[in-house]
């Protein structure tokens, strides 16, 4: 976990690689991402690598930037339990 401030429209891949060192187990291990905190829907992992972190793109994906509290879940995550704990 960390707090960063970046320019709008950074790609998700750049955000994760630059500030988090990548996805544990590689990009094929990415299950889902909640891009804007608990108030926005999840996006499947395979759609996130090229995702643009801005309001318009995430709205097109039927999610949102919300509070920009990005929650990343790998394939070891029980997504139901993770969301229940939010």
The pLDDT of residue 22 is 92
pLDDT attached to residue 81: 96
Task: Tell how far CA 9 is from the center of its chain.
Answer: 13
Could you read off the pLDDT of 7-56 as tens digits, one per residue? 999 999 999 999 999 999 999 999 999 999 999 999 999 999 999 999 99
Q: What is the DSSP string of 7-37?
A: -TT-BHHHHHHHHH-S-TT-GGGEEEEETTS
SS3 74: strand
Where do the domains of the chain lie?
A: 12-85
Q: Does domain 12-85 have CATH number 3.30.360.10?
A: no
């Amino acid at each position: 976990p960390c707090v960063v401030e970046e320019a709008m429209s950074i790609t998700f891949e750049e955000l994760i690689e630059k500030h988090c060192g990548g996805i544990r187990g590689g990009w094929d291990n990415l299950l889902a991402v909640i891009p804007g905190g608990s108030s926005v829907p999840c996006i499947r992992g395979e759609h996130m690598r090229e995702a643009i972190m801005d309001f318009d793109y995430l709205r097109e994906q039927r999610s949102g930037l919300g509070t920009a509290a990005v929650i990343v879940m790998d394939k070891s995550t029980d997504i139901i339990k993770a969301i229940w704990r939010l």
